[in-house]
């Protein structure tokens, strides 16, 4: 029921918890009064979860018997609501990027064949991803190697011959290209004063690992370099 019997105040009482809430806290339902569900979103979520637990076998049997139908309906829904789903994923990622990344990694590990197929159909994705997340990936790699020194050592010993052969072949085929790329990459980082470039300078000058370099040190070093460049340009 609505407060005062109308929708003037935009409030509604949840039929489950009995709490008066704003209409935006109720899910949409065409058959419901004013197009809203009788239960608030929180209660509806809890109710749906309990309903699933009570009838888990029934739901699983239905999904097993209607795989193709469910797959088709899901595909049609994603196609019709592409923008809305994209916006929703963006909000979820912004609110909790670490949780999103962990779920993505876990899914990829459980379904390597799907990951391989997806990457095959989206060849430019990994290149773009590495470019946009270069600093984060380098940081995660360094953190993992620091926390798992034995794993790194074991992997190196186990794959020593393979790595050596691969590096020799790769340098032979891509030597000039690698040299040019490395030169351009370093020059680009130097001009933009990226975190990677500044971390390298701090590592050499202070003799500390990248894991011990704080954001404050990076900011201070960047400011120092900018000031030095400004003075040099005037002089």
* DSSP assignment string, 110-177: H-HHHHHHHHHH-TTHHHHHHHHTHHHHHHHHHHHHHH-HHHHHHHHHHTHHHHHHHHHHHHHHHHHH
Contacts of 201 (CB under 8 A, 6+ apart): 221
What is the Cα–Cα distance from 99 to 115, expressed in whole angstroms? 19
What is the Cα–Cα distance from 21 to 10, expressed in whole angstroms? 9
Residue 96 has pLDDT above 50, yes or no: yes
The strand pairing partners of 96, in sequence order, are none
Count CA atoms within 13 Å of residue 28 on its CB side: 1
- For the whole model, what pTM was predicted? 0.36
Longest dimension (CA), the chain: 80
* Complete domains list, the chain, with CATH: 1-63 (3.30.60), 134-234 (no CATH)
Instruction: Determine phi and psi for 36, rounding to 5 degrees.
Output: -120, 155
Tens of pLDDT, residues 142-174: 888 888 888 877 877 888 887 777 777 766 766
Tens of pLDDT, residues 31-77: 877 788 999 999 999 999 999 899 989 988 998 899 899 889 988 98
* DSSP assignment string, 219-234: HHHHHHHHHHHHHHHH
């Amino acid at each position: 029921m609505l407060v005062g019997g109308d929708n003037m105040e935009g409030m509604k009482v949840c039929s489950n918890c009995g709490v008066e809430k704003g209409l935006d806290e109720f899910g949409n339902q065409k058959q419901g009064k004013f197009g809203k569900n009788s239960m608030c979103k929180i209660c509806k979520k809890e109710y749906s979860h309990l309903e699933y637990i009570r009838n888990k076998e029934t739901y699983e049997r239905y999904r097993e018997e209607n795989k193709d139908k469910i797959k088709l309906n899901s595909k049609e829904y994603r196609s019709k609501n592409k923008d809305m789903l994209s916006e929703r994923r963006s909000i979820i990622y912004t609110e909790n990027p670490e949780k999103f990344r962990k779920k993505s990694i876990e899914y990829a590990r459980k379904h390597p064949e799907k990951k391989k197929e997806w990457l095959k159909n989206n060849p430019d994705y990994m290149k773009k991803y590495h470019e946009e997340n270069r600093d984060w990936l380098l940081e995660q790699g360094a953190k993992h190697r620091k926390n798992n020194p034995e794993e790194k050592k074991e992997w190196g010993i186990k794959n020593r011959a393979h790595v050596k052969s691969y590096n020799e072949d790769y340098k032979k085929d891509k030597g000039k290209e690698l040299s040019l790329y490395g030169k351009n990459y370093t020059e680009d980082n130097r001009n933009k004063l990226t975190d990677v470039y500044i971390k390298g300078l701090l590592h050499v000058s202070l003799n500390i690992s990248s894991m011990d370099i704080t954001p404050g040190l990076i900011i201070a070093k960047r400011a120092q370099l900018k000031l030095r460049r400004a003075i040099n340009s005037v002089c």
